[in-house]
Each structure stands twice: as structure tokens, then as C-alpha cells.
């Protein structure tokens, strides 16, 4: 069957209420809804057949498909209009904007049925807030230097765009006088899946922007470039600004094929708030959002849908094997059936021993992973102790004669916190990456071993009745979220005041040696304390993930055996009854097989659409999901 690809709507879809403007999303949304319907049918049939493992599996795949997260981050230098652009995408004046550089805290926007705002603090606690109070947490004026210790703000919002699992992220601008804003943005770069990089038509692209772009590219698989504020320029000036930006991106960033989308976020937002479709088109935001939606379908959405379709296919294969095994067992002579049950139990005993052996090997591999991580932490700790001590000595020699005792103490405390914070922020993602890759390799290896073991159970079970194996649901690893935050202040009470601050009233020849000794001690304490926090955080997450993984391995292995055992038990009970009961059971199973075939046909057609989309990405026109369902596709 020939397919030209997915159709792309050229007309805007205006969604009532606060959903804002987004292009037609029929391709991704229709396919996802069709897959979700398939998974609901699989879940219902699994419940009817009393297969709890597949009932839960289908529910988990559906939940993952519904809640799939994709981090789309808005980046750029300060005063490029990033927050206004985010508001324009949402079609609502939700985030605070101002003439002066404003945003200071990373803000995540996720889908929710109603507006809900939660402030996440560095110490782990959370607090609900409202739109009017947002500036008090995410702006430099309301929260200078992040004195409130906010980690991030998460906003759930009923946007059609966010419904497809996109997490839209507004970041502080880099390059302003507020260093903490730049630090906040850089800390979030490892979480980027795709980035929207804002340039401004009223300011030529700078060397600082090129450097920030190069830092961003190592994390983002896809980059979109926006030339904002085009309403300030004439058509000729716009072309000149866009040509200059493309030339700089090509010559200084190595991006020969960069596409720059000109638009006015301010005009787009005003047009949506006024319900003016003509002005919205004139802002040129729709041209960009159509391209963004195509990307989300072709490069993000298709991958998500293909993974869900594969898992659904495996679940169908496992259901089909159970149904055919039960039908075959109904026609097996009673004595032969009892012999097969005995052979099955002998096979299970053999596989159980192999599972235990795998568990011992897994524990040993994990210990080696944690040992390598500990060596990396100790190496970093030793390097930072030496580096910070040398920096403190240089600072003392450079400023000691010009500052008072109290000023010198403050300067050294500020230096220690700033340098250690930066070192930790740069090192920790690398350590996490190394540990994560090591854990992923370990999990992948043992997932493979366990899936081989499960496949052998399925194969030998099918072999008892001369049945083919068409698929089975395997094991997939889990992740856990970090709750780490750094601590730079030492805990003191009124009964244990800071001796160095007290001694700052002493002459320099007495205070100087005391200060140097105290700074050496603080370096040791703070480096050790924060390295300890990193160690605990990573170890806790790895061990938690391992426990979840081990539980998955055991649950899946046990469920596979229990499923076959239940089929054999149920069939044996039916065989021991009269032929009328057997005939009723046979008719019930035939009906379930027919339902299974109908589900498989629907799934097959969706998979064909996905394959054709992969073969011909970006084509402008093509059949919809319903076109496929109307045709008699041979799957």
C-alpha cells in the first residue's frame, strides 16, 4: 500500500479558553489515541483471562504513553524575550515579564486539567502558590540572588500543546549582571531534549551568544532558532538581520544549515488575547509552531508511538500464546496433559536455580560500580582541597593589605562558596553521567539475561504443545530522581559562636594565621560534606533503582511461570469435567481469539502508518488514521 506521509494542517486551530494557539495535531494525537484504545482492549482481555501481569503491563504502557515527557527548553541571552515567547506559545499572559532582566529561576510548564503552581525548594519541600505571587519566587526583583533557595517552579496548565507530553521550560537569560541567573540556566542544560534558542532583531548576534550556543549544542539533539522582535524592523531590515544571523551561525558556530524563524512574540501574544487571527498570522508565530509540531511528530512523537506499539505487540503475542496453549491443552488426552504439567514443573525448578545465580552476579557487579564511583569522588575531593587552598592563599596575598579583617573574612568565605559551588555544578553531572552509564550497562546486561531466561520459559512452555512464540513482554529498567542540594553554611548555635568572626577584632598579625587555619579547616569540611552529599544521593538512587529492577526481574519471572501454571491448572480442571463444559470453554476461548485478532489488526495498521512516516518524513499530505482503518490492509 502506497503512503505519502502525514498530513500537516496549514490552518490554525483555535482552542477555546486558555489553551492558546497550536497547529493541528491530528497525526500524533490520533495515532496515540488509537494505541491507547488498543492497550485498553489488551488490558480488558487480560483481566478477563485472569493474567494480572499483562493487565498491569498494559496499564503501565498506557500511562507511559499518556505521560511521556519531552523537555523543550527556551534558551538565550538576557532580554531576548524568552518569557514573552513562552506566554505566546501558551496564548496566555501567565509568566511575569518586564523591561529589565527579570526571570531568575527555571520554570517548568507541564500539562494539567487546571492551573496549578508548585514551588520546589532546594531543601526538598514544596509550596503551592498563585499567578499573582509568581514574581516573588522566579524574578530577580522578588527573589534577589535566589535568597529564598528555590530550586524550580512547576506549573501545570491546560494547554493543548503540553497535552502530548511536552514539558516547556523557561530559563533565566545568561550574560546579565546577575551571575546566579546564568548559573541556573547552565545547571539545567543536561536535561535538554530539544532547545528553542532566541535571538533578537534589535541586537546583532554576539560572541557571548555563540559561546553559549556551543555549550548548549552538546546537550540538545535539536535546535530551533527564533529571531524575535521583528516588529521593530522594516521588511528590508528583517531580511538583513536574518541573513546576518545565518552567516554568524554558519561561520562561527559551524551551523551551515541553520533555519532562523522570524516572529514577534509580543504581537502573537496580544493577537491571541484579542482573538485576532489575522494579527496572529502576521506575527509569524504560526509558521514556527507548524514546524515545531512536525518535529514533535516525526522525531519525538514517532519514537514514542513506535515503542508503545512494540510493547502492545509483545503483550498480544503473550496473550495469544496463552489462548492457543489453553485450546491445545483442551484437546490433549488427560494422562498426556498431566505428563506435560510434570515436565513444566521440572523445567521451572531448573530455571529457578539460574535466576538465583544471576542475582549473586548482579550484586557483585553493583559493588564494583559503587567502588569506581567512590574512587572518582575521592579524586575530586583531593583536587578541590588543593585548588581551593591555593586560591585562598592568592586571595589573601592580593587583598589582605587592602581589606579590614571582617572584609577579608567575608571575601574568603564568598570565594570558597562560589568556587566550590561552580566546581560541584561542573563535576556532578559528569559523575552522574559516568555512574548512570555504568548502571545502564549493568541493567541492560542483566535485563538481557533475565529476558533470555523468560524467553526460555515461554519457549519450553510453548514447545510442550508444539506452539510458536510470537512475542512476550520483557523487563525494562526504572529511574529515580535526585533530591540533592548543597550545604555551605556550618551549623552554629548561640552557645557556639564563630571564633574567627570574634577574633576579627584582633590585630592582623594575630588574626591572619587564625584566618588561614580556619579557612583550611573549612575547605576540608565543606568539600567533604558536599562530596558526601553527592555520594549519598547517587548511591541512594542507584540502590533504589536496583531494588526496583530486582523486583521487576522477580515479578516478571514469577508472573510468566504463574501464567502458564494457571492455564494448565484451569485446563486440567475443565478436562476432568464432562464434554459439555469442555465445549463451552472451547467456545469462550475461540471468542477471545477473535477479539485478539481484531485488536492485532488495528495495531498493525497503526504500525504501518508509523513505518511509512519514518520512510517519508516531512511530506505535506497523506492519509489520516481513518483512511487506513477503512482500507483492507493485510497485516
Closest listed residue to residue 343, CA positions, set 31, 608, 568, 504: 568
**Residue 615 pLDDT:** 59
Strands 194-200 and 222-228: parallel
Mean of the pLDDT values across residues 176-199? 65
> Does pLDDT of 488 surpass 50?
no
CB 381 within 8 A of CB 524: no
Q: How confident is the model at residue 613 (pLDDT cuts 50, 70, 90)?
A: low
CB 173 within 8 A of CB 83: no
Long-range contacts of range 329-334, CB-CB < 8 Å, 24 or more positions apart? Answer: 329/465, 329/567, 329/568, 329/571, 329/572, 329/575, 330/571, 330/574, 330/575, 330/582, 330/585, 330/586, 330/589, 332/465, 332/575, 334/575, 334/576
Poorest-pLDDT segment among 136-145, 474-483, 508-517 = 474-483
Q: Which domains does the chain have, with CATH numbers?
A: 67-298 (3.40.50.300), 370-575 (no CATH)
Residue 402, SS3 per DSSP: coil
- Cell 498563585 locates to 130
Burial class of residue 350 in the structure, from the number of CB atoms within 10 Å of its CB (0-12 exposed, 13-18 middle, 19+ buried): exposed
CB 623 within 8 A of CB 3: yes
> Does pLDDT of 631 surpass 60?
no
Give the model confidence (pLDDT) of 494-547 as tens digits: 333 344 444 444 556 666 677 777 788 888 888 998 898 888 888 888 888 888
Mean of the pLDDT values across residues 20-34? 57
Poorest-pLDDT segment among 55-69, 170-184, 231-245, 479-493 = 479-493
> Does pLDDT of 190 surpass 80?
no
Distance, in Å, from the CA atom of 513 to the CA atom of 384, rounded to the nearest integer, reads 22
Mean of the pLDDT values across residues 252-258? 83
- CB atoms near residue 221 (< 10 Å): 11
If phi over 0 gives left and psi between -120 and 50 gives alpha, with beta otherwise, what is residue 330?
alpha
Give the model confidence (pLDDT) of 357-384 as tens digits: 888 888 888 899 999 999 999 999 999 9
Burial class of residue 486 in the structure, from the number of CB atoms within 10 Å of its CB (0-12 exposed, 13-18 middle, 19+ buried): middle
> Does pLDDT of 119 surpass 50?
yes
**Residue 450 pLDDT:** 73
Mean pLDDT taken over the chain? 77
Distance, in Å, from the CA atom of 13 to the CA atom of 570, rounded to the nearest integer, reads 54
Helix (H) or strand (E) run with residue 162 in it: none
Give the model confidence (pLDDT) of 214-228 as tens digits: 777 766 667 899 999
Residue 535 grid coordinates: 555520594
**Residue 180 pLDDT:** 54
- The number of residues in the chain equals 635
Helix (H) or strand (E) run with residue 562 in it: helix 508-575
**Residue 299 pLDDT:** 66
Mean of the pLDDT values across residues 56-77? 82
Residue 271 grid coordinates: 493577537
The secondary structure of the chain in percent helix, strand, coil, rounded to multiples of 5, reads 65, 10, 25
> Does pLDDT of 337 surpass 70?
yes
Q: What distance, in Å, lies between the first and last C-alpha atoms of the chain?
A: 11
Give the model confidence (pLDDT) of 120-131 as tens digits: 988 878 999 998
Higher per-residue confidence, 179 vs 40: 40
> Does pLDDT of 51 surpass 80?
yes
Higher per-residue confidence, 561 vs 614: 561
> Does pLDDT of 116 surpass 90?
yes
**Residue 511 pLDDT:** 64
Above pLDDT 70, what percent of the chain? 78
- Please report the DSSP string for 304-364 in residue order: HHHHHHHHHHHHHHHHHHHHHHHHHHHTS-HHHHHHHHHHHHHHHHHHHHHHHHHHHHHHH
Q: At a CB cut-off of 8 Å and minimum separation 6, what does 399 contact?
A: 408, 411
Higher per-residue confidence, 296 vs 252: 252
**Residue 304 pLDDT:** 76
> Does pLDDT of 476 surpass 60?
no
Query: Measured between alpha carbons, how far is residue 514 from residues 392, 409, 410, 496 in Å?
Result: 14, 11, 14, 17
> Any idea of the CA torsion for 568, 572, 575, 576, to the nearest 10 degrees?
-170
Helical ranges in 331-480 per DSSP H: 334-399, 405-463
Give the model confidence (pLDDT) of 315-325 as tens digits: 898 898 889 88
> Does pLDDT of 302 surpass 80?
no
> Does pLDDT of 195 surpass 90?
no
Give the 3-state secondary structure of 274-304.
Answer: HCCHHHHHHHCHHHHHHHHHHHHHHHHHHHH
Poorest-pLDDT segment among 40-44, 62-66, 285-289 = 62-66
Helix (H) or strand (E) run with residue 554 in it: helix 508-575
CB 344 within 8 A of CB 565: yes
Mean of the pLDDT values across residues 615-632? 44
Amino acid at each position: 500500500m502506497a503512503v505519502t506521509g502525514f498530513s500537516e494542517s496549514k490552518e490554525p486551530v483555535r482552542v477555546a479558553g486558555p489553551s492558546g494557539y497550536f497547529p493541528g495535531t491530528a497525526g500524533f494525537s490520533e495515532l496515540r489515541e488509537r494505541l491507547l484504545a488498543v492497550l485498553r482492549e489488551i488490558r480488558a482481555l487480560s483481566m478477563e483471562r485472569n493474567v494480572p501481569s499483562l493487565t498491569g503491563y498494559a496499564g503501565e504502557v498506557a500511562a507511559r504513553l499518556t505521560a511521556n515527557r519531552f523537555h523543550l527548553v527556551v534558551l538565550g541571552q538576557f532580554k531576548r524575550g524568552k518569557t514573552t515567547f513562552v506566554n505566546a506559545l501558551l496564548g496566555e499572559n501567565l509568566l511575569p515579564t518586564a523591561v529589565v532582566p527579570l526571570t531568575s529561576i527555571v520554570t517548568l510548564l507541564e500539562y494539567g486539567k487546571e492551573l496549578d503552581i508548585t514551588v520546589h525548594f532546594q531543601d526538598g519541600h514544596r509550596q503551592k502558590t498563585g499567578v499573582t505571587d509568581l514574581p516573588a519566587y522566579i524574578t530577580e526583583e522578588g527573589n534577589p540572588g535566589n535568597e529564598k533557595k528555590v530550586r524550580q517552579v512547576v506549573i501545570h496548565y491546560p494547554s493543548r500543546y503540553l497535552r502530548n507530553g511536552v514539558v516547556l521550560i523557561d530559563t533565566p537569560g545568561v550574560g546579565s549582571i546577575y551571575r546566579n541567573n546564568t548559573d541556573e540556566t547552565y545547571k539545567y542544560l543536561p536535561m535538554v531534549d530539544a532547545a528553542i534558542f532566541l535571538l533578537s532583531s534589535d541586537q546583532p548576534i554576539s560572541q557571548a551568544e555563540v559561546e553559549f550556543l556551543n555549550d548548549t549544542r552538546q546537550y540538545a539533539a535539536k535546535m530551533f532558532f527564533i529571531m524575535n522582535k521583528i516588529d521593530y524592523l522594516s521588511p528590508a531590515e528583517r531580511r538583513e538581520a536574518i541573513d546576518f544571523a545565518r552567516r554568524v551561525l554558519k561561520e562561527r558556530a559551524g551551523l551551515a544549515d541553520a533555519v532562523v524563524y522570524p516572529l514577534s512574540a509580543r504581537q502573537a501574544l496580544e493577537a491571541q488575547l484579542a482573538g485576532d487571527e489575522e494579527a496572529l498570522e502576521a506575527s509569524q508565530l504560526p509558521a514556527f509552531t507548524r514546524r515545531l509540531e512536525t518535529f514533535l511528530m516525526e522525531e519525538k512523537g514517532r519514537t514514542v508511538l513506535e515503542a508503545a506499539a512494540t510493547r502492545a505487540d509483545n503483550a498480544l503475542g503473550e496473550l495469544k500464546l496463552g489462548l492457543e496453549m489453553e485450546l491445545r491443552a483442551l484437546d490433549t488426552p488427560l494422562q498426556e496433559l498431566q505428563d506435560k504439567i510434570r515436565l513444566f514443573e521440572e523445567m521451572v525448578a531448573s530455571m529457578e536455580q539460574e535466576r538465583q545465580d544471576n542475582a549473586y552476579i548482579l550484586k557483585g557487579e553493583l559493588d564494583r560500580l559503587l567502588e569506581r564511583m567512590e574512587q572518582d569522588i575521592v579524586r575530586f575531593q583531593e583536587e578541590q582541597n588543593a585548588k581551593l587552598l591555593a586560591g585562598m592563599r592568592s586571595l589573601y596575598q592580593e587583598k589582605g593589605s587592602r581589606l579590614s579583617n571582617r572584609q577579608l573574612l567575608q571575601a574568603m568565605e564568598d570565594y570558597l562558596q562560589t568556587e566550590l559551588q561552580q566546581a560541584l555544578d561542573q563535576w556532578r553531572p559528569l559523575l552522574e553521567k559516568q555512574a548512570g552509564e555504568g548502571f545502564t550497562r549493568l541493567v541492560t546486561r542483566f535485563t538481557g539475561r533475565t529476558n533470555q531466561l523468560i524467553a526460555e520459559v515461554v519457549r519450553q512452555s510453548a514447545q510442550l504443545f508444539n506452539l510458536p512464540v510470537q512475542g512476550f513482554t520483557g523487563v525494562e529498567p526504572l529511574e529515580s530522581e535526585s533530591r540533592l542540594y548543597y550545604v555551605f553554611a556550618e551549623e552554629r548555635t548561640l552557645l557556639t559562636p564563630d571564633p574567627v568572626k570574634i577574633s576579627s577584632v584582633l590585630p592582623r598579625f594575630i588574626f591572619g594565621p587564625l584566618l588561614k587555619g580556619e579557612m583550611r579547616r573549612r575547605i576540608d569540611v565543606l568539600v567533604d560534606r558536599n562530596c558526601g552529599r553527592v555520594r549519598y544521593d547517587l548511591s541512594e538512587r542507584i540502590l533504589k533503582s536496583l531494588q526496583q529492577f530486582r523486583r521487576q526481574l522477580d515479578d516478571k519471572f514469577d508472573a510468566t511461570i504463574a501464567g502458564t501454571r494457571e492455564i494448565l491448572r484451569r485446563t486440567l480442571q475443565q478436562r476432568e469435567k464432562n464434554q459439555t463444559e469442555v465445549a463451552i470453554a472451547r467456545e469462550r476461548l475461540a471468542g477471545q481469539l477473535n477479539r485478539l485478532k481484531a485488536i492485532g489488526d488495528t495495531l498493525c495498521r497503526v504500525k504501518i502508518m508509523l513505518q511509512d512516516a519514518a520512510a517519508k518524513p516531512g511530506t505535506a499530505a497523506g492519509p489520516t488514521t481513518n483512511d487506513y482503518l477503512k482500507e483492507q490492509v493485510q497485516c
